[in-house]
Structure 1
Amino acid sequence: FDNAKIDEMLDVFGIERSLSRKGCPYDNAVDESTNKILKAELVYREMFGTTRELQVKLADYVHWYNNFRMHSTLGYMTPIEFRKAGLVLPKSSKKM
């Protein structure tokens, strides 16, 4: 979704946006994969009585995911370890 206001906000935080061409699903695949993991590891295993409880459990999960959960894509490092090591994933060779 290309939007000037979203672009401005991302620029403030130094985030590079990835937009593929119309009909190209590659960017969506990362989002779908993340949602699948979140659902399997948190949503389907928990009950949330209030919005606040959901917020707390989600924050705890994100902290665990970034600091303790090893990722095969990152060479079995956590995202925090990977970033602290100054490593980056190679750009995909697929043309979009």
Structure 2
Amino acid sequence: MCAVLNISRSTYYYEVKAKVEDESLAQDIIRIFKESRNNYGTRKIKKKLNDEGKVVSRRKIGRIMRENGLVSTYTIAQYKPHKKPSNEDLTANEVKRDFTNREQLEVVVSDLTYVRVAGKWNYVCILIDLFNREIIGYSAGPKKDAILVYQAFSRINAKLNDISIFHTDYAEENTIPKFFQMA
């Protein structure tokens, strides 16, 4: 009959094998992932499956992980602070945590922080006048550099010479441009 219909005999005898193996494989992948406290990715799961005598490609493991919503904690981007040598010069603490009863522009405090925007880390520099706790300068950008601080200072609607004390919790040597450093 196969010769009359001009098809190969293997097509006639072909049976679709049930994918029961994928069910048990998915359970094994989920088990290994949970045992690793959601840390293992496809490479380490493949290694564990090989240790158990199961040969599976990383592509298949990745597909099963995606179908089950398994994402390694190491895959998720995490903030890593950039370590640079800091300015170790001792500076007197003029403010001494007394943030009340200040004149306008007597003390300006600053902080640099980071926020996640569209999957990438961006930095925010804020300048606050302790007179009325008003934000008098701010800037945001993808790099923590002198330009970020410069842009925050450029938004101040007052003379920079009127600022008596500029206080920040941590200032790197190259963070504040020389013309903004106050004695």
TM over 0.5: no
Q: Which one scores higher on RCO, CA 8 angstroms, separation ≥ 6?
A: 1
Bigger fraction of residues in strand: 2
Please report the TM-score for the alignment, with normalisation by the length of structure 2.
Answer: 0.19
TM-score normalized by the length of structure 1: 0.29
